[in-house]
Amino acid sequence: MKFFIDTANLAQIKEANDLGILDGVTTNPTLMAKEGIKGHDAIMQHYKTICEMVDGPVSAEVFGTEFAGIVEEGKKLAAIHKNIVVKVPMIKDGIKAIKWFTDNGIPTNCTLVFSAGQAILAAKAGATYVSPFIGRIDDSSWDGVQVIEQIVSIYNAQGFMTEVLAASIRSPLHIVRCAEAGADICTCPLSSILGLLKHPLTDLGLQQFLSDAKSMQ
Ligand code: G3P
């Protein structure tokens, strides 16, 4: 399973990248706004900076909701860097635009996906990635990981090439369960990635080893 980081924060991207386990980055308008980025040029420059930091796909989301506007925005985003993936919402014009991008060799990430039906449509349009938001599904008292399992099983049965990118990850347990469910990618906040490191027996064991090592010096 590939690891993407779900942030537009450059320090956090650097920290995850320095671990050597980072395969890509996803952003969305909320994450970009959180960094205080304002205006077209600043937005474009920020995506460029991220692409220069991480050697892997970087999802940049369109702001438009109509076919022509999505295509125009997507072409501009794709021109920033070869690793840009155009992130498009799961709406009627979004699906139409994803098909256009597919036909024109531009990779896409279909976002705001909450059901297997939506994931089938994204795959039919040729999306490179589909992003089911598992944390938000859990928030509405459904099981987000079950939706991942269902999409993975449908894609395998049908031979769809779209990669399942589990998004809206809220905990290390989400990452473990998505790996078990066969997700191709997890896009996670830095805290969830670092949470995978934690186990009290590791801390206790290390303490003992360090103290025994010291006694031998
Ligand atoms: O990539 C989409 C994801 O960032 C949404 O996460 O935590 O806002 O539901 P969240």
Q: What is the pLDDT of residues 157-205, one digit of tens each?
A: 999 999 999 999 999 999 999 999 999 999 999 999 999 999 999 999 9
CB neighbours (10 Å) of residue 50?
Answer: 26
- Helices 144-158/116-124 angle, 10° precision: 40
CA distance 181 to 147: 9
Q: Which pLDDT value is given to residue 197?
A: 97
CA distance 217 to 208: 15
Residue 116 C-beta-side C-alpha neighbours within 13 Å: 14
Of 113, 98, 87, the closest CA to residue 167 belongs to 113
Q: Which pLDDT value is given to residue 30?
A: 97
Q: Is the C-beta atom of 61 inside 6 A of ligand 1?
A: no
> Ligand 1 centre and the CA of 27: distance in Å?
9
CA distance 132 to 165: 7
CA distance 125 to 105: 13
Between the alpha carbon of residue 210 and those of residues 75, 175, 213, the distances in Å are 55, 30, 5
Q: Which pLDDT value is given to residue 100?
A: 98
The pLDDT tens digits for 119-156 are 999 999 999 999 999 999 999 999 999 999 999 999 99
Q: Which pLDDT value is given to residue 154?
A: 98
Tokens standing for residue 67: 């076919």
CB neighbours (10 Å) of residue 39?
Answer: 8
Ligand 1 nearest atom to the CA of residue 31, by list position: 4
Please report where in the chains the tokens 């089911």 appear, as a residue. 132
Tokens standing for residue 206: 């290390």
Active site residue 214: no
How many residues can be counted in the chain? Answer: 217
State what percent of residues in the chain have pLDDT above 90: 100
Catalytic residue among 34, 87, 92, 99: 87
The pLDDT tens digits for 69-96 are 999 999 999 999 999 999 999 999 999 9
The pLDDT tens digits for 13-59 are 999 999 999 999 999 999 999 999 999 999 999 999 999 999 999 99
